[in-house]
Amino acid sequence: MTPFYFTKHYETPAKATAAAHNYGWLATHVKPLRQPAVTVIGPASLTFEHIDGRHAQEEDLRSLAALLGDAHGAAWTSDLHEARLDVSHEFRDGSLLAGFRSCREVALRKRLEQGFLPDTAALHAMLTLLERSTEGPAAFYKDSNPRNFLITKDGTVFCVDTDDLTLAPFGYDLAKLIATLIMTHGPIEPPDIEAALNSYNHAAARHDAQLGATSRERLGDFLALHAVLTAPYAGRHGYRYGWLHQRPQFQGTS
């Protein structure tokens, strides 16, 4: 019999608490994102209602892009309109939503140590790109990979996994979805990426016109960052494809 709940266990109580805080913030300020109900909060675990759904696929990109644009616009309107991307944002309960740049700078330096960047010149290029990205209105990053969406038979979309939540520029989490769809299912045609970006911008702009301004070049910058940041996961978690065939479509944008 299919269980009617799912329990996620965490390494420490602090990580479980952070995930619960993130869940609550999303539920309060990001109404467009539907999450499974939490049924039990344990010392180092969260138990959710079971959702019978499939993970996101390439054909879902445009509709999920619109959902993300709506979600990011709602978060900006509700709570993030005064947030700065390079400074942690304080929740009302005193906990923090980490800033965009610092944790990713650490991760990029680690990628050099791990051999995923060829030399310090490449690291400098990525750090410059990261610095350039830390501007504009603040959205959030929720690691929008295909496994973090569950789509039911009637088309209802549930978002799962609230472990990692940070500030991010508009369009950054859309780029994560595109990057991980490519790593999971293979190359995506440029017109499909363009259509997804247009859907994202249109949905975000319904909340405020300035929020719908993510350009194709800026999306390419975010994809370049994700290509490096996700490099250690190639061959794991269903990521079967690399960027060798997709990357030429983004040349000149990073």
Q: Where are the domains of the chain?
A: 52-250
**Alpha-carbon gap, residue 221 to 62, rounded angstroms:** 20
pLDDT of 183 reads 93
Q: Would you say 140 and 167 are in contact if contact means Cβ atoms under 8 Å apart? A: yes
pLDDT of 116 reads 94
CATH class entry, domain 52-250 = alpha beta
pTM, 2 dp:
0.92
pLDDT of 3 reads 63
**Residue 50 structure tokens:** 């079971």
Q: Would you say 166 and 97 are in contact if contact means Cβ atoms under 8 Å apart? A: yes
pLDDT of 203 reads 98
- One digit per residue, the tens of pLDDT, for the chain of length 254 reads 456 888 999 999 999 999 999 999 999 999 999 999 999 999 999 999 999 999 999 999 999 999 999 999 999 999 999 999 999 998 776 778 999 999 999 999 999 999 999 999 999 999 999 999 999 999 999 999 999 999 999 999 999 999 989 999 999 999 999 999 999 999 999 999 999 999 999 999 999 999 999 999 999 999 999 999 999 998 887 888 876 545 544 443 33
**Residue 119 structure tokens:** 């030399």
pLDDT of 228 reads 95
pLDDT of 240 reads 85
**Residue 251 CB partners (closer than 8 Å, separation 6+):** none
Residue range 31-64, pLDDT digits in tens: 999 999 999 999 999 999 999 999 999 999 999 9
Closest C-alpha to 139, from 56, 78, 195: 78
The whole-chain average pLDDT of the chain stands at: 92
Closest C-alpha to 53, from 142, 143, 148, 177: 148
pLDDT of 95 reads 76
Closest C-alpha to 246, from 195, 199, 167, 193: 193
